[in-house]
Amino acid sequence: MFEPKISIIIPVYNGGNFMREAIDSALGQTYKNIEIIVVNDGSPDGGETDEIARSYGDKIIYVPKENGGSSSALNEGIRHMTGDYFSWLSHDDLYMPIRTEEMVKRIVPEEADVQAIVCGDKLIDAEGKPIPHPKKQLDGAFSGKEMLSLLQKGLRINGCGILVPKKLIEKVGLFDETLRYVNDTDYWYRLIIAGCKFTCFTEPLVATRIHGKQVTVTHSSLFTTESARLCQKVFEALMKDTEKNMPLIKVYRKKAAIDGNLSVLKSVMPLMASGIGEKIAAYIEIYIYFLYGKGIKFAKKIYKKLAFKR
């Protein structure tokens, strides 16, 4: 049987509120060929996180470190992992018991080095009660180009709902420690550029907790700033090998037009076509995307105003 070792990495910062539930959900997996690595990212909570982690003894691998952000904590966990696959669990989220088993079932051994598995998720509040999920869940196999197009349309890949082969991590590298709030999205783009294939299914095997202390809430302005940086970073990575990445660049061009990102468009457009007819067609297409983006933004403004008045 194909039973790869799965390394579940749990980065923790001030985890006294939810981390015990997260660790217990990892220990409760029906798939048993796992290791659990808990990384304490310098939690300034009077030793509460440290005490909880140490209470599990040799059931987990515990790694305390100085504070460096979530990317730093994930990277430290990756350095300690001995498994064949990387699996992320935020300290405030939960795995369903069959999560790992069901994901391993979907690995194609012949494609194991380039295949990432993505499961569905559900949302819970601070007390663990279910709340409505606004995002569509993906089902099926997707190439890198297809996944890039979906990301451009607003798809959200839950970091705790993905299984990534260690060999692909060795190819892509560690998480970018200069990004603290969009480090997961950055990594999905890097996987795509590296040739990753994605197998997705909708079963909600991860519970994502929504609460007021999440970084997207407490540092929303920094989240927006990093998102803008990420756009340029992905574009620069694609442009390093324009011949190989041309299918991805064409998808990315669409997003740049919708967002009105002129610096990206100026760099991309000369690559798009050779003949004058093809260039005219490309510019018309870009203009349509630009107008579409403007229309969407206008529609959102109208919706917010109407919703506010109700």
The tens-digit pLDDT sequence of the chain (310 residues) is: 789 999 999 999 999 999 999 999 999 999 999 999 999 999 999 999 999 999 999 999 999 999 999 999 999 999 999 999 999 999 999 999 999 999 999 999 999 899 999 999 999 998 889 998 777 788 999 999 999 989 888 788 999 999 999 999 999 999 999 998 899 999 999 999 999 999 999 999 999 998 776 555 555 667 778 877 888 888 889 989 988 998 898 888 887 788 777 777 777 777 766 677 777 877 788 888 788 888 878 887 887 777 665 5
Contact by Cβ (8 Å): 41, 67: yes
Tokens linked to 135: 């995002």
Q: How far is CA 121 from CA 19, 101, 152, 271, in A?
A: 18, 15, 20, 39
3-state class (DSSP) for residue 86: strand
3-state class (DSSP) for residue 30: coil
How many C-beta neighbours within 10 Å does residue 80 have?
15
Q: How far is CA 55 from CA 32, 51, 80, in A?
A: 21, 6, 20
Taking the complete model, does pTM exceed 0.75, yes or no?
Answer: yes
What is the structure's pLDDT at 129? 92
Report the alpha-carbon distance of residue 236 to residue 256 in Å, rounded: 13
What is the structure's pLDDT at 151? 87
Report the alpha-carbon distance of residue 18 to residue 305 in Å, rounded: 37
Tell me the sheet residues that pair with 39. 11, 63
Element (H, E) at 155: none
Report the alpha-carbon distance of residue 235 to residue 268 in Å, rounded: 9
Contact by Cβ (8 Å): 47, 116: no
**Where do the H-state alpha helices sit in 123-182?**
144-152, 166-172
